[in-house]
Amino acid sequence: MNNLYNVLKKIDDPNIILTFIDYKYIPLFNIFYSYFEKHNLKNLLLIALDLNTYNYLSKYENIHVFYIKYNLDNKDLFWKFRLSLINQIFKISMKNIIHTDSDCLWFKNILEEVKNLEYDIVGSIAYGFPEDLVKKHGFILCCGFYYIKYNVKTKDFFDKIINQNFNINDDQILMNTYIFNNKKSILNYNNHHLITKYIETNDNLEIAILSDSVVSRTYQESLYCFHPYLASKDINGKLYELYNKLKGK
């Protein structure tokens, strides 16, 4: 098993596509990868959270795998751990990063679209939590799919999020609290084929929010990415939900 620096050196692309996985979620990953592999991308980095997952994923030729042990039984602390590791990868690699959940299915190669957009961050839209921000603004950025370019404006972005002075571990709350507390303006994009919202922050970050026709929790054949809400607590229940949603039920 290589260290993180050595793993990142092998990714010969300015963009890293990143997701986290443990062994009980391998069946979901297999579905994710059945869509993803069709795009012939060789810059997918999987963070294996246990040794069984590392051994399983290492058989794939076009996947980069980094092993770091983490017990997901303590899921409340996982989100900040995830954010911190993404920050390490961002700083060490100095590359653009797409973070995608392993249940966010890539029907189309969305990287070809977002990498050419002139924004520092591109995120999918959500309407769940933080509830206070959704109530105030009508939307938030979903941490299940976002793209961040590495540049002088963004290189300390994750540090600023993590170092906010309140005791919260959830990455979606941390990220959106920082963005909206520092917003300079919010604009609606009514005629863009990908973007529905634009946020500029006081530190001059330009953030684009993708429309529901691009990445959505509601199944549509025309989507780039389908990121369903799977409410079941066990993996078999999640698989059953996913199969039904893919059938449009």
The stretch 12-26 carries a mean pLDDT of: 96
Query: What confidence tens digit (pLDDT) does each residue in 135-170 have?
Result: 999 999 999 999 999 999 999 999 999 998 778 889
| Total-model pTM | 0.95
Amino acid 15: pLDDT? 98
Give the Cα separation of 157 and 235 in Å (integer). Answer: 33
Pairing of strands 195-201, 206-210: antiparallel
Amino acid 186: pLDDT? 97
**CATH annotation of 4-246:** 3.90.550.10
Amino acid 2: pLDDT? 60
pLDDT at 1 > cutoff 90: no
Amino acid 216: pLDDT? 97
Amino acid 164: pLDDT? 87
The stretch 231-248 carries a mean pLDDT of: 92
Query: What confidence tens digit (pLDDT) does each residue in 190-210 have?
Result: 888 999 999 999 999 999 999
Burial class (CB in 10 A: 0-12, 13-18, 19+), 124: buried
Give the Cα separation of 56 and 37 in Å (integer). Answer: 16
- Per residue, the 3-state secondary structure of the chain, as one string, reads CCCHHHHHHCCCCCEEEEEEECHHHHHHHHHHHHHHHHHCCCCEEEEECCHHHHHHHCCCCCEEEEECCCCCCCHHHHHHHHHHHHHHHHHHHCCEEEEECCCCEECCCCHHHHCCCCCCEEEEEECCCCHHHHHHHCCEEEEEEEEECCCCCCCCHHHHHHCCCCCCCCHHHHHHHHHHHCEEEEEECCCCCCEEEEEEECCCCEEEEECCCCEECCCCCCCCEECCCCCCCCHHHHHHHHHHHHCCC
- Name the average pLDDT for the chain: 94
- For residue 216, CA distances in Å to 71, 76, 103, 147 come to 29, 25, 12, 16
pLDDT band at 77 (very low <50, low <70, confident <90, very high): confident
pLDDT at 89 > cutoff 70: yes
Domain ranges of the chain: 4-246
The stretch 160-183 carries a mean pLDDT of: 91
Q: For residues 167, 75, 178 and 192, what is the CA-based torsion angle, rounded to 10 degrees?
A: -170
pLDDT band at 248 (very low <50, low <70, confident <90, very high): confident
Provide φ and ψ at 175, rounded to 5°: -65, -45
pLDDT at 249 > cutoff 80: no
pLDDT at 38 > cutoff 70: yes
